[in-house]
Structure 1
C-alpha cells in the first residue's frame, strides 16, 4: 500500500500530469491525441506522463474499436483524501466542499462516467460465472444477480434476506460469454463488464456510464472498488473478505463524522 501511495504522490508532483488529470476531469474518455492538444510538448513526452499516471492507477484505459480512451480513476485520490485529509477536516470545510460540488453539478454538460480496472488470478470463464451466477454474486456482492442473461431479458439485483426485493432492475443489452456483458443499471445508467485474458490472469474493466448526477458518481466510486475487491478475494482464495469493504467504509465515515461533531 505504501509503495502504491508513493507512486500516486510522485505522479501528482508534476504540473503537466496534474494538468492531464484536470483535462480528464473536465471530459472523461479522451484519446492520447486529444490529451496532447492541451499540452505544449511532443507526443512522446505526453505518452511518458500518461504512463506514469497509469502506473499510479490514476488513469485507466479502455479500447473502443481502434481508439484507446483514457479515463480518470479517482480511487487513489479518494484513498489519499481519507488517509491525509478527512481526519483533519472540520464541519465548516465539509460544508464549503459540498457547496462547491453543487455548483459544479449545475455546470456539468455531460453525464459522468466511472471506469475501474482490476486484475484477478482466475480465468475469464470463472469471472463471467461469478458475475452472472445468483449464488456467487450473493456471496461477494450481498445481492443475487438473477437473469437468463439473454439480450433483451430483465435482470434483478435481489436482496439476500429472502424478501424478494430487487434494489436494482435492469435490462441485458449485450452478452458475449465470457468476454463482455452490458446491462442497464436502473435508469438511466448502464454498466459494461469487459473480461480479458492478461497473461496468466484476467483483466476486468467495469465502465459505469450515463450517471445522472455527481452524487451518483461519488457513490459508485466507493461502491465498485469494494465489490470488486470482494469478488477478487473470492475467486483467488475461495472466500470473501472478513468484513465487506462497503461496511468498513460506512463505519469509518461514521467515526469521522462523530469525531468532527463539536458536541
Structure 2
C-alpha cells in the first residue's frame, strides 16, 4: 500500500462516526444503505458521505445485487496495516487473546460473509483465465482448478503434485465470462453441512480490473479465520503473476505458517 493510500485509510478511521459504520458492518455484513442508517442519529445523506469516504479508502466495498447496493467490509487495508505493524512484533500473544474472544463471541452472533477487493493491472479476460485455467491456478495457488465452468458442472481444486487429490470440490452455480463466477466451496469433500459459496466479480476499467471475492454461508468462526488469511495470500500471488509474469518469490501462505 502506498503512503498516500495509507494516509487515506487512517484519515477515514480517525472519525468516530465512520468507525461506528464499520462496526455496524462487522456485526452484519452486506447491508443496504437503509439498513446501515437504521438506529443511527444522522440523516441518510450524512451517512452516505461517510460511507463514500470509507469506499474511497477501500475499507468498504459496494456490491450490486439486482437493484440493491450492498455494503461490505473490505479487510484488505486492515490486513496490510496488521502485516506492517503487528505481525512481526506481538502476534502470538494477540492471536491467543483473539482466539479466546472469538470463541466467546461465536455463540452470540452469526458468522459474517467475507469480502476482499483487489485491483489488478490486467484485462477482464486475463483475470477470468487466471481463475479458471488449471495450469495458471497451479502456478499461483498450488492447485489446479478443473472444470468446464458451465452452470451445474462440478469443479475440483486438485493438488498440483500429480496425485489427483482434490482438497476442495463444488458446483458451478453461475458462469458469465469474463465478469462473474459463482461456485460452491466444500473444503471437506463429502461433508453433510451446506457448502459455502464463493463469488468472483471482475469489473474492468480502462487498463485495470477490480476483482471482488465474496465468500458467503460460512459455517463457523474457524473457517472465517482461515479464509481471512488464505484469500489475501492467494490473490496477492494471482496479482503478481498477471502484473509481472511471475508469482511472488515465496508462497505467501507459507509466511503465515512461519510466523505461527
- Note whether the superposition's TM-score is higher than 0.5: yes
**1:49 and 2:50 are equivalent in the alignment:** yes
Structure 2 stretches lacking a partner, 5+ long: 187-193
**1:221 and 2:222 are equivalent in the alignment:** no
> Aligned partners of 2:92 and 2:115: how far apart in 1?
30
1:88: how far off? Answer: 4.9
**1:185 and 2:190 are equivalent in the alignment:** no
Aligned position for 2:174: 174
1:111: how far off? Answer: 3.6
Number of residue pairs aligned between Structure 1 and Structure 2: 252
CA RMSD of the aligned region, Å? 1.9
CA, structure 1 residues 100+15, in 2 after alignment: closer, same or farther (shift >3 Å)? same
> Aligned partners of 1:126 and 1:99: how far apart in 2?
42
CA, structure 1 residues 207+93, in 2 after alignment: closer, same or farther (shift >3 Å)? closer
> Aligned partners of 1:50 and 1:191: how far apart in 2?
25
C-alpha distance after superposition, 1:27-69 (max 9, x if no partner)? 1001112212232222222122112211222111100011111
Structure 1 stretches lacking a partner, 5+ long: 255-263
Contact kept in structure 2, 1:155 and 1:171, CA below 8 Å: yes
Contact kept in structure 2, 1:144 and 1:157, CA below 8 Å: yes
1:217: how far off? Answer: 1.0
1:1-263 matches, within 5 Å, as 1=1, 2-89=3-90, 94-108=95-109, 110-186=110-186, 187-251=194-258, 253-254=259-260
> Aligned partners of 1:152 and 1:231: how far apart in 2?
26
Contact kept in structure 1, 2:238 and 2:247, CA below 8 Å: yes
Contact kept in structure 1, 2:111 and 2:224, CA below 8 Å: no
Question: Normalising to structure 2: TM-score of the pair?
Answer: 0.90
Question: Normalising to structure 1: TM-score of the pair?
Answer: 0.89
1:184: how far off? Answer: 0.5
C-alpha distance after superposition, 1:220-247 (max 9, x if no partner)? 1111111111111211221111122212
1:129: how far off? Answer: 1.2
Which consecutive aligned stretches of 4+ in structure 1 deviate over 4 angstroms post-superposition?
Answer: 90-94
> Aligned partners of 1:199 and 1:78: how far apart in 2?
27
SS in structure 1 opposite 2:127? helix
> Aligned partners of 1:44 and 1:193: how far apart in 2?
30
Higher helix share: 1
> Aligned partners of 2:222 and 2:206: how far apart in 1?
37
More divergent stretch after superposition (146-155 vs 95-104): 95-104
C-alpha distance after superposition, 1:182-241 (max 9, x if no partner)? 111105201111112223322211111011111211211111111111111211221111
> Aligned partners of 1:15 and 1:217: how far apart in 2?
26
